[in-house]
Structure 1
Amino acid sequence: MSLREKAAVIGIGETAYTRGSGKSAFALQVESALIAIRDAGLTPRDIDGIIPCGISAAPAEDLVNNFGLPDLAFSGLTPMGGASPIAAVQCAAAVVSAGICKNVLITAGRNGFSGARAGVRIHDMPQFHYVTEYELALGAVAPAQLYAPMARRHMELYGTTSEQFGEIAVTIREHAMLNDNALMKKPMTLADHQASRMISDPFRLFDCSIESDGGAAIIVSSAERARDRRQPPVLIMGVAEGHPDSPGSITQRDTLTELGIAKAAPRAFGMAGVTPADIDVAEIYDCFTYIVLCQLEDLGFCKKGEGGQFVQGGRLKLGGDLPLNTHGGLLSQAHMLGMNHVTELVRQMRGQGGRAQVENAEIGLATGYGDMGDGALVIMRRG
């Protein structure tokens, strides 16, 4: 059974993204959920499926109690780090297509700035045990340290440069400057990127995503039900998840330059019946600039090793061949586990992208990247 256009996103919600919200992750999760419910023209009692995302997300029972849900038919978890929101979209699409639920809420709340930083939170992730034998023994524990060897390997194999990583950071910052709900709106040049301090070679400060507080949520319903909702429906054309080759320890793999998204991409594109050439806008998970470049290759926008050349020349900017992270992404808007990539894609497909709206955007995609290389991809179109 194909999930192609069996489900649609009917509501989106985001809180203000801040640094020091004074709110718990759960409060931010609830706030974004209520915004998404209102956006869809529903009430909390219309929700009969819940998929919370993130290690700080509250379980479904907490939302049932706070919203007074009368008849929850489904709850689930997709523990894939930053790939979780889009893996949750796949789960929700399957659930509504099977008739188990009418309206599935996917929600995340995060206080990554005012709460524990990534180097602390990673100890709570189930995947953390993968690094204890090799990386941790050498002092590598923070995400920048864990993923830096992948970027360095790509540079050694293909001649990729730090300046090419900088092209990604500068482009995404330009887009964030168009977004009122983005944290980083100070102009950045390539020279600024190159002058930023080294975090974990080859990652400089501006290669790394920011820490922030906030919440984001979406509601998935069947495509049939979506026609009667308040907002124009955004149809889910194709969706898939993929996991990297074993072992879980990144540095011990046969190849360091391919992610789980490489396995998800053929399935999602095949389900959608489109190719990378058909994509009008891409919201690519950007925990680090290299991860964007690697995903562009694994998705088929260019061949392996050609990502550095691909991102140059303004191709990723508004008006370019592949406008990327029109909201500012994790690098410059906020780190919202990639849920903000999904809400932005929906906004673009509705034609509600404001100053960053991609002209005549009909088909777009969003990706997720998780922890040791998990990947997820969703392709959507305007309904």
Structure 2
Amino acid sequence: MRDAVAVTGIGETVYQKKSLGKTALQLQLEASLAAISDAGLKPTDIDGLITYAGANSPVIPEDFIVNFGLDLRFSGHTPLGGASPVAAIQSAAAMIFAGVCRHVLIPVGRSNYTGARASDRIKGSSQLRLITEFERPAGAFAPAQYYAQFARRHMELYGTTSRQLAEIAVTTRRHAALNGNAAMTAPMTIEDHQASRMITDPFRLFDCSLETDGGAAIVVSATERARDMRQKPVIVMGVAEGHPDSPSTITQRENLTEFGTARAAPHAFAMAGVTPKDIDVAEIYDCFTFVVLNQLENLGFCRKGEGGAFVENGNIGLGGTLPVNTHGGLLSQGHVLGMNHVVELVKQLRGEAGKAQVKDAEIGLVSGFGNMCEGSVAIMRRA
């Protein structure tokens, strides 16, 4: 499927750390209309739809059929938490490559302040509810508590430090300040990070992603059709998803520092015909700072255990060896399960990223990460 499909439209709403007064469905419809218009299409041109129906965003294909008057030939659902949007690109590519669909819409929207509470979302998650045998009896029931164990293990094995995690938070915030649509833009220093309150060891407040209202969406089309559409297409070179061992537990895994990303990456790079050295910009899923650091290793940008050193000295900032999360990510822009990462990569490869534009960006990577370490990876290039 290499180069068979392209992202032809992107759309997003405002992101903010307070209620937008809209439901998850309303936010998804708003972002979807923007993406469809960006592609130069009408809603009725959409014949494929892949939704994400989280506990606080109970949206199904019929919602879009009713509101947009769609005549769908395919509808699907990718229940992989934050790995869902990028994994959905693979499903869209397969349906288009098979000739089932022409244009597939992938929307995500969250109403964290007008929808369910965080505790309710966790209980409703299709996979987090399985973590009952070892973790919950010890009092662990929130994502920060789960993922902190991975971070602590990495620190014990490789000497990774909290100040190295701070480099990711500070760099991401610096990028968010260049973005006209980011929830958190106040300057942050390493010392600010270190002084923020402890959430669950070793994660401090600024190691954790935001809770925001917002929506984002993309349209995926056949590359042949995309060349005649409104926007310059961003072509999908390679895409894959991967799953870890023992997906329903943490403490019983043999290797706590290998995410599903490590299994997805070789397939995505092989399909794309490139290596990590060819990537000009990367949008890495960042529910927590450590998740970025570990994915950089799992993706092959540095060796195992060298992620801490890799993120230091401006290496992941604009002008660095590998600019990462140029929009501010989940840590500072907004949390829509990483669909904003996909939107940002498309902007970068179109040359539309404004003050955060990476010069001469030709090939980029976006990752997804969700539930108990499912991973997804897409590699794209400008046409």
**TM-score normalised according to structure 1 size:** 0.98
Percent identity among equivalent residues?
65
1:167–1:312 CA contact under 8 A, matched in 2: yes
Looking at structure 2, the residues matched to 350 and 73 of structure 1 have their Cα atoms a distance apart, in angstroms, of 29
Task: Name the structure 1 match of 2:33.
Answer: 34
Cα distance, 1:237–1:159 mapped onto 2, change above 3 Å: same
How far residue 247 of structure 1 moved from its aligned partner, in angstroms, is 4.8
Looking at structure 2, the residues matched to 117 and 159 of structure 1 have their Cα atoms a distance apart, in angstroms, of 36
How far residue 135 of structure 1 moved from its aligned partner, in angstroms, is 1.0
Looking at structure 2, the residues matched to 57 and 242 of structure 1 have their Cα atoms a distance apart, in angstroms, of 25
How far residue 126 of structure 1 moved from its aligned partner, in angstroms, is 1.0
CA deviation string 1:40-80 (max 9, x = no partner): 000001000000124114111110111011x2100001100
2:32–2:105 CA contact under 8 A, matched in 1: yes
Task: Name the structure 2 match of 1:6.
Answer: 4
* 1:1-383 paired onto structure 2 within 5 Å: 3-18=1-16, 19-55=18-54, 56-69=57-70, 71-383=71-383
Looking at structure 2, the residues matched to 119 and 294 of structure 1 have their Cα atoms a distance apart, in angstroms, of 26
1:17 counterpart letter in structure 2: Y
Looking at structure 2, the residues matched to 132 and 15 of structure 1 have their Cα atoms a distance apart, in angstroms, of 36
Cα distance, 1:186–1:53 mapped onto 2, change above 3 Å: same
2:41 counterpart letter in structure 1: L
> Secondary structure at 1:251's aligned position in 2?
coil
How far residue 133 of structure 1 moved from its aligned partner, in angstroms, is 1.3
Aligned length: 380
> Secondary structure at 1:250's aligned position in 2?
coil
1:350–1:382 CA contact under 8 A, matched in 2: yes
Looking at structure 1, the residues matched to 87 and 247 of structure 2 have their Cα atoms a distance apart, in angstroms, of 21
1:231 counterpart letter in structure 2: Q
Looking at structure 2, the residues matched to 85 and 247 of structure 1 have their Cα atoms a distance apart, in angstroms, of 19
When structure 1 is superposed on structure 2, of 295-304 and 108-117 the one drifting more is 108-117
Cα distance, 1:320–1:327 mapped onto 2, change above 3 Å: same
Cα distance, 1:145–1:344 mapped onto 2, change above 3 Å: same
Looking at structure 1, the residues matched to 218 and 353 of structure 2 have their Cα atoms a distance apart, in angstroms, of 16
2:64 counterpart letter in structure 1: L
Unaligned runs of 5+ in 1: none
Unaligned runs of 5+ in 2: none
2:173–2:188 CA contact under 8 A, matched in 1: yes
How far residue 20 of structure 1 moved from its aligned partner, in angstroms, is 1.0
Looking at structure 2, the residues matched to 210 and 247 of structure 1 have their Cα atoms a distance apart, in angstroms, of 25
Aligned CA RMSD, in angstroms, stands at: 0.8
**TM-score normalised according to structure 2 size:** 0.98
Looking at structure 2, the residues matched to 116 and 194 of structure 1 have their Cα atoms a distance apart, in angstroms, of 31
How far residue 310 of structure 1 moved from its aligned partner, in angstroms, is 0.6
> Secondary structure at 2:268's aligned position in 1?
helix
